[in-house]
Amino acid sequence: MRNRTGPGRPRDPQLDAQVLAATQELLVSAGYQATTIAAVARRAGVVTTSIYRRWPGKRALVEDAIFALDGGHLPVPTGELRADLLAWTRLFLDAAAQPAARSAIPGLLSEYHDDRESYRRLLDRGEQPTRAALRELVIDAASRGRADAGCDVDALFEFLRGATLIRALTHGAGDADAFCARIADALLAVATTAGQRINPNQ
Amino acid sequence: MRNRTGPGRPRDPQLDAQVLAATQELLVSAGYQATTIAAVARRAGVVTTSIYRRWPGKRALVEDAIFALDGGHLPVPTGELRADLLAWTRLFLDAAAQPAARSAIPGLLSEYHDDRESYRRLLDRGEQPTRAALRELVIDAASRGRADAGCDVDALFEFLRGATLIRALTHGAGDADAFCARIADALLAVATTAGQRINPNQ
């Protein structure tokens, strides 16, 4: 067992990586419920206090492990909106379909059932860079006449996220080509249509 | 404790309803994990064998309890596609936002993690009448020139389901009017646009 992280010692990035990798592995091999701090510590070969020094609890650790999976790289815009939307759909699907993510997402959703604020924080954390980048992509396409500047980017994002998440949980990344092509086409329809003014009485 | 369900006695619809109601209540008050067959039996005032005679296990019971929540009534078509899509969006959101459903869905997703076939059966069961009815709605609108007959109804359904499910889990049914109006508008954009031919090489 490692013993490099006594109080007062500086954080050890290698230890962090080791703990995150152990968490990812356990999520896949043992499932969310069995991915406890104690089990992660055993697998990573560290003491639990080393983990608690860095993460307040299981939720935070699992969240970090899931975010560490996806390199955080969004597709580089190609100048062709349909191709860009296809790349985004693929990225969202692949991220949610990774075995550790598929194991963790329902588990986290379950824990957040009575804790909506944490859940929203999680979503916001995952969403922040992506929602803004999608908006930028669409604005840029609109400036070239390839999207409608008045389209509803929030709805676009919600469609993208919702459809890929359910698909990933039900089908994984299998047989994804046709699915992603269909979703990209339908997203393009949203991007090229002006959102109507909302009538709050409807 | 009721004692009306000895072996050989006919099924008792009132007992079924009592068990489903107890399941729904427990999902809300105690959460998915604590909603065990034993706890449901205690709350319903029946013996566990009465429950096992009717349901093979917890998953099946929770599924039935969730399906029993929603009366299974789809909106009556109005002849106006935007209004119909709005009614559908509201229905999906309200169904997923019911406290017992919000408690059960992540729990079931978590259990189905390693059992994709069951999960697909669940989705198919919930989907069958709705996906067909949505298709009929769109075909009818297309016959009146209000939708594109070549639009992608599957993508429409996946957008509707995914966006409302995530919204329900994160926000419940709160502040739903503006959300539903935006989603209905964006769904209308999909319904009025021909799906492109899928290029399997993409």
**SS3 sequence, A119-148?**
HHHHHHHHHHHHHHHHHHHHHHHHHCCCCC
Q: Report chain A (202 residues): mean pLDDT per 10 consecutive residues.
A: 46 89 96 94 96 93 88 86 96 92 87 74 76 94 95 95 91 90 96 69 38
Cα A42 from Cα A101, distance rounded (Å): 21
Degrees (nearest 5) of the Cα angle A17, A22, A23?
100
Tokens in use for A175? 């047989």
Cα A179 from Cα A167, distance rounded (Å): 9
Residue B38: count of CB within 10 angstroms of its CB: 10
Contacts of A113 in chain B (CB under 8 A): 31-32, 102-103, 106, 169
Does the pTM exceed 0.80?
A: yes
pLDDT at A179: 95
Q: Which of B151, B190, B200 sits opposite A177 (nearest CB)?
A: B200
> Tens digits of per-residue pLDDT, B132-169?
999 999 999 999 999 999 999 999 999 999 999 989 98
Q: How far is A131 from chain B (nearest CA, A)?
A: 15
Degrees (nearest 5) of the Cα angle A81, B170, A121?
80
Residue B177's closest chain A neighbor by CA? A200
Domains of chain A: 13-67 (1.10.10.60), 81-193 (1.10.357)
Nearest to A68 by CA among A116, A121, A13: A13
pLDDT at B1: 39
Q: CB–CB of B186 and A156 under 8 A? A: yes
A165 touches chain B (CB under 8 A): yes
Q: CB–CB of B202 and A177 under 8 A? A: yes
Contact B89, B164 (CB under 8 A): yes
Work out the angle between the directed axes of helices A153-171 and A176-191 (0-180°, nearest 10): 170
